[in-house]
Structure 1
Amino acid sequence: MSGPTLADVARAAEVSTATVSHALNGTGRLADATRRRVREVATALGYGARRTPQTGGNLGVAVTTYAGSAWNFLEVPYFARLLTAATATAHAHGYALTILPAARGAETPWHTLTVDGMLLLDSPAGDPVLRALRARGIPLVFDGRPVDPRPEDVWVDNDHTATTREVLGHLAASGARRIALHAGYGDEHYTRAVTRAYEQWCREHGHRTLFLTCDPYDTPGHAFDAVFAARACDAVYTIYDPGGRQVVAAAARHGLRIPDDLLLVCASEDPAYAESDPSVSTVTLRPATIAETAVTALVSRLSPTAPPPTPGALTVPAVLHPRGSSRRRTRPGRQGPP
């Protein structure tokens, strides 16, 4: 295996090859911080070191959406399940797995991180982490379609259009005529794909669109106050894990009964929804299967003998679990003839 070149170090450090040469040779007029960073990048890449083939190694995984804020994605059931399965799959292939923090500050070593390959989750537009990893030539696999995929890119995702249409059709069959979509605080492919599918379905079925922005910290569900007070919707499809609890809290505050007055479906991996009263209908995006598929594809990209994965999308079907919250009960006196 050939080692990294001067140009590789320059791309990874986002400087010119001349700057790299000056930094490594102690020449030129460079800022101390620039000289230090270039040397750190060169060391991390193994520039000048003898490279030998190896089995196994280290994979990295990062959640890079939501502007790099330091949020704890491990508290979200989707990410918790995905990362557990990703770790088990990496270990089964003989790799360690490093889980990077969500923050993208200067202290995060994206330019010097020592990994053989990376799994990126929900990479947004203009992702600086993606840019740094591409510059270093690190093999990548994505959870969720990248914004500007390259011909060689591989990503694992659900068919969000088909899933959204299934959920809306289920709600309509249960009697919903004014369905609100609770989404919109992310800029990843998931949010954009669901929103487009919702708009298209509403146009086809003559329904008015009603968008509500999800705030993960809006525990009382105040985003629903105006809509519920005006009885402006009779069903909600919320595509983030906290949304179902927010709908339930807001509905109780406004005297709306679920499912009699309001139908509800929530995309979530939280098993507590199945135990609530009424039980909440959920969509599972099957994160464990996504993780197994993505890590296996990444390992294949790294293997000198295994066939590389086919570029493009690897689709994992989502599953709708209809429960009490989206099935209207027959009211007393309306059972029909005996």
Structure 2
Amino acid sequence: MPGPGPTIADIARAAEVSTATVSHALGGTGRVGESTRRRVREVAAALGYSAGRGPRTRTLGLAVTTYAGSAWNFVEIAYFSRLLTAATAAAHARGYALTVLPADRGAEPLWHTLAVDGMLLLDSPAGDPVLRALRARGLPVVFDGRPPDPRPADVWVDNDHEATTREVLDHLAASGARRIALHSAYGREYYTEAVTSAYTRWCAERGAPALVVPFDPEDAPGHAFDAAFAAPGRLRPDAVYCVYDPGGRQVLAAAARHGLRIPDELRLVCASEDPSYAAGDPAVSTVTLRPEVIGERAVAALVALLESPDGVPPGQLTVPAALTARMSSRTAPGGPSL
């Protein structure tokens, strides 16, 4: 009788590409150049590969669904690029390929037919159509970020956003800030809701005014801050905590336009994995959500669900975030009061 035939790993070696690239090329998914896709398929045909016979390479899928429907390139965001690199390495180390789906809703049919053993969903929002399709297929799912309506058996990896938000706000208050604004309220994923709720509670507990400035990814000049930064002294924010990666640059642009000195008149902390914030003038204080750790732990949990489902306790696997304080949030000269 004939042997089991070539595997995806055999094709990857012959074509001198990764197993993930072979999965993308043969499945018509991912961002694979046309010449590479054609070469992989030619190698597969020459080796006599048939997707319907022999052992199939175990494959995990990954989708960022918080803004599904928009053709945005999440790989350009440092958080996602770092998580994807770590998740890919973790999957390969465990003998799995990793297929990354595009954000555009044009890929929706793939969610119902994609040949994967399990899925990682990043920032899944309420009413997520990807999640509905995966649950209908009975595929194991692990989430990056708490799902909006978790089921009893769901597993997710996340930070403690309540504790992190309070740490940032306490840090800013200790540096002398009294009117701290939050740059948030854009996404519908749990992260945004959790940080905004923690901020509102923190302000209420201290009798401090709360100001949530809406984030707009297209607002590079930071015009969302124009009204707040033009307000009289005691009504103007003296600190900002930005929830999204581009927010810090938007605040810096708005502060420069309004002549506000950082940190003497305005302190700044931004949740970001972008190393350029550390190299700026002034260097910007940042919060890392530690995406590399989240990616590795999410893959480990998903593989465990696939290989020993009864051994994975449901609920949250918590990865502590970390605040790195730099010049942008230091105490103003002369003491903690402005």
Question: Could you say which TM-score interval applies, normalised by the shorter chain?
Answer: 0.7 to 0.9
Unaligned runs of 5+ in 2: 1-50
Identity of aligned residues (%): 71
What secondary structure is seen at the aligned counterpart in 2 of 1:187? coil
CA displacement at 1:82 relative to structure 2: 0.3
Partner of 1:7: none
What secondary structure is seen at the aligned counterpart in 2 of 1:200? helix
Question: Normalising to structure 1: TM-score of the pair?
Answer: 0.80
Partner of 1:113: 114
Unaligned runs of 5+ in 1: 1-48
Partner of 1:160: 161
Residue pair 1:61, 1:120 contacting (<8 A) in 2 also: yes
CA displacement at 1:188 relative to structure 2: 0.2
Question: Normalising to structure 2: TM-score of the pair?
Answer: 0.80
Paired residues for 1:1-338 under 5 Å: 57-105=58-106, 108-230=109-231, 231=233, 232-304=236-308, 308-330=311-333
Q: Aligned equivalents of 2:160 and 2:56: distance in 1?
A: 34
Q: Aligned equivalents of 1:85 and 1:163: distance in 2?
A: 23
What secondary structure is seen at the aligned counterpart in 2 of 1:97? strand
Q: Aligned equivalents of 1:286 and 1:106: distance in 2?
A: 29
Q: Aligned equivalents of 2:166 and 2:108: distance in 1?
A: 43
CA displacement at 1:217 relative to structure 2: 1.4
What secondary structure is seen at the aligned counterpart in 1 of 2:156? strand
Paired residues in the alignment total 282
Q: Aligned equivalents of 2:301 and 2:311: distance in 1?
A: 8
Q: Aligned equivalents of 2:76 and 2:310: distance in 1?
A: 36
Residues 20-43 of structure 1 show CA distances to partners (whole Å, capped at 9, x for unaligned) of xxxxxxxxxxxxxxxxxxxxxxxx
CA displacement at 1:66 relative to structure 2: 1.9
Residues 105-125 of structure 1 show CA distances to partners (whole Å, capped at 9, x for unaligned) of 365411111100000000000
Residues 88-144 of structure 1 show CA distances to partners (whole Å, capped at 9, x for unaligned) of 000000000000001123654111111000000000000111000000000000000
Q: Aligned equivalents of 1:83 and 1:254: distance in 2?
A: 38
CA displacement at 1:286 relative to structure 2: 0.2
CA displacement at 1:330 relative to structure 2: 2.1
Residues 204-252 of structure 1 show CA distances to partners (whole Å, capped at 9, x for unaligned) of 1111110101111111111111111115200000010000000001100
Q: Judging changes above 3 Å, is the alpha-carbon distance between structure 1 residues 233 and 213 closer, same or farther for their aligned structure 2 residues?
A: same
Q: Aligned equivalents of 1:63 and 1:70: distance in 2?
A: 11
Rg comparison, structure with higher value: 1
CA displacement at 1:68 relative to structure 2: 2.1
Farther-moved stretch of structure 1 (267-276 vs 223-232): 223-232
Partner of 2:11: none
* RMSD across aligned positions (CA): 1.8
